[in-house]
Chains A and B, each alone.
Chain A
Amino acid sequence: AAGVIQSPRHLIKEKRETATLKCYPIPRHDTVYWYQQGPGQDPQFLISFYEKMQSDKGSIPDRFSAQQFSDYHSELNMSSLELGDSALYFCASGRAGGEKLFFGSGTQLSVL
């Protein structure tokens, strides 16, 4: 069965650079969520989309933006990267109605 696909798996950037993370949800899933997880931390909600419209926003810095495209894939754009942005970024998809989320394998971002 198809799973949530995230790319790239690993990304190394320098301070003040930009990064784009991509997420391809499971087909026919209408919600996409982005989470940030630091080492030993719980996943922190960043932003979510329902049917390509932003549905909820969490602790996402103004330097970050995200969108969901017509083919339902989503991108998280991160600018002016800081050392503290180093983390594992997960994308998850699901169906609206409170059902379970399926997580991708994540993108490990390292900012040097």
Chain B
Amino acid sequence: DQQVKQNSPSLSVQEGRISILNCDYTNSMFDYFLWYKKYPAEGPTFLISISSIKDKNEDGRFTVFLNKSAKHLSLHIVPSQPGDSAVYFCAASNYSGNTPLVFGKGTRLSVIA
């Protein structure tokens, strides 16, 4: 039973355009969501997070949107740059319950120059 789903295994975007990575979750107890970025042969690095009391969080070129009723979140990268090419993992937890992060399978983003 996959609680966090990233249904697109890969995404290709032209440099300068917007990248939109999607994530769906099934556990209504999740109240904290994170995105991690992973380059080959490296560990994931934290990118941006959002708690369930918000519907949007922005950090530079990265914005995360949360739609609680749809149990859906998305990561927008604009403008996309070649250095953004990586695997992006969505993760969720019940923060107040101190539960471990549950990760999606990841989406491989390729930004084409």
User: Do A and B share a complex?
Assistant: no
